[in-house]
Amino acid sequence: MIRVGLTGGIAAGKSTVAARLAQDGAKVIDYDRLSHEVIAPGGPGVGPVLDRFGTDCGDGQGGVDRSALAARVFGGPAADRDREDLDDIIHPLVYELAAKAEQPWLEGSEVVVHEVPLLTEVGSAIPFHFDRVLLVEAPSQVRIARMVNQRHMTPSQAVERIGSQTSSSSRRAQADLLVDGSQPIEQMFESVDRIYEELKSLAQGSSHSD
């Protein structure tokens, strides 16, 4: 297999690219989904999150209320510190689930894509080596409009999320492959298909990854 890190700023188009890669034949591990799983009812992150952030952040059903937590870590008075503490709780649990998820493909010739929104931010803390890093990019204004129009965030919530993430230039410094997430979707899919073919040939020539 080869392991690919797929990243990009919020609402750049990562999940859309990931879905196309999956359609092409890649195996995709979605870190946002795993991070939701760890704080859903019964998840291993629920206890530590509620201990740290208080039972006000509970959803009343044994899980965490993500919008209450988002208000704290992206817009609260101690947002940076809170976000750091949340990341320290959630990320190791997510990495554990990701390692389990990719186990069936370790010996094969699959293209295994880890969709990691914060790949650049976490640096060497992530316990995986990526053979390639694929970056999806779109200008901030496009991303803000997507968050406001499609996710019902206020403009200031959208700006806060972008502000809590790293810069495009630091993401670029880490990237091997680039997809423009603001181009027309059909064109974007064509570039994703071309990249998949490249990755697939690489995977067929590989026998392992650590």
Ligand X SMILES: CC(C)(COP(=O)(O)OP(=O)(O)OC[C@H]1O[C@@H](n2cnc3c(N)ncnc32)[C@H](O)[C@@H]1O)[C@@H](O)C(=O)NCCC(=O)NCCS
What's the min distance (Å) between Cβ of 138 and ligand X? 12
Structure tokens at 121: 């931010």
* Strand-pair partners of 6: 115, 134
Using an 8 Å Cβ cutoff, are 104 and 55 in contact? no
Task: Please check if 54 is assigned to a binding site.
Answer: no
CA distance 27 to 48: 30
Site string for ligand X, 67-96 (x = CB under 6 A): --xx--x---------x--xx--xx--x--
- Cα-Cα-Cα-Cα dihedral sign, residues 67, 147, 190, 7: negative
Cβ nearer to ligand ATP, comparing 5 with 181: 181
* Strand-pair partners of 174: none
Task: Please check if 15 is assigned to a binding site.
Answer: yes
What's the min distance (Å) between Cβ of 64 and ligand X? 7
Site for ligand ATP in 100-139 (CB under 6 A): 117
Binding region for ligand ATP (CB under 6 A): 8, 10-16, 32, 117, 146, 150, 181, 183, 185, 188
